[in-house]
Amino acid sequence: MISVRYKVGAKVVYPLHGVGIINSIEDKTVLGARRSYYIIKLAISDMTVMIPTDRCDELGLRMIVTNSDVHKALKIITSEMTDMDEDWKTRYQHNFEKIKSGSIFDVAEVVRNLFHRNKVKELSIMEKKLYENAYRLLVDEISYVRDLGKEEVQNLVSERLENSK
């Protein structure tokens, strides 16, 4: 068995899927190869995923952020939006890559930029879905870190966005 970075019970973030808790670490044979896997119960979707322990960095698995990082992410959503490409496909891909990075700061930036972009010009259907996913990921992680209800965090994030530049 390979040494593991995360322990059972750890709260982790799996990019594009959100916060989860490591329920177990198990050795399994998949497609003829025996590996150790993190068995993670995702909070948002109530889904369980298996992540190979030797690929967790490559797949972007990370511990949830600190309260200090949440404070920085909330500052990002109140800061001025950054310039974005006019072509929605290019913009979508750029924002998707930011969310895929797993960084709460990148996710906060996507939420802020798409929120403000929607005020100027309505987002495409795909961008709306991307915004909703980024918003959900941000709210989910903040609620775990600050031990607050999702509705309370949604109100906090929405208020910050409405009062931002």
Residue 36, phi then psi, degrees to nearest 5 = -90, 140
For the entire predicted model, the pTM comes to: 0.89
- Measured between alpha carbons, how far is 18 from 136 in angstroms, rounded to an integer? 8
119-153 pLDDT tens trace = 999 999 999 999 999 999 999 999 999 999 999 99
Domain 11-63 CATH assignment equals 3.40.50.360: no
Are 140 and 46 contacting, i.e. CB atoms less than 8 angstroms apart?
no
The tens digit of pLDDT for each residue in 68-111 reads: 999 999 999 999 888 888 888 999 999 999 999 999 999 999 99
Task: Give the SS3 label for residue 38.
Answer: strand
Task: Identify the bridge partners of residue 39 per DSSP, sorted by sequence position.
Answer: 24, 50
Boundaries of every domain in the chain = 11-63, 67-162
| CATH 1.20.58.1290 for the 67-162 domain, yes or no | yes
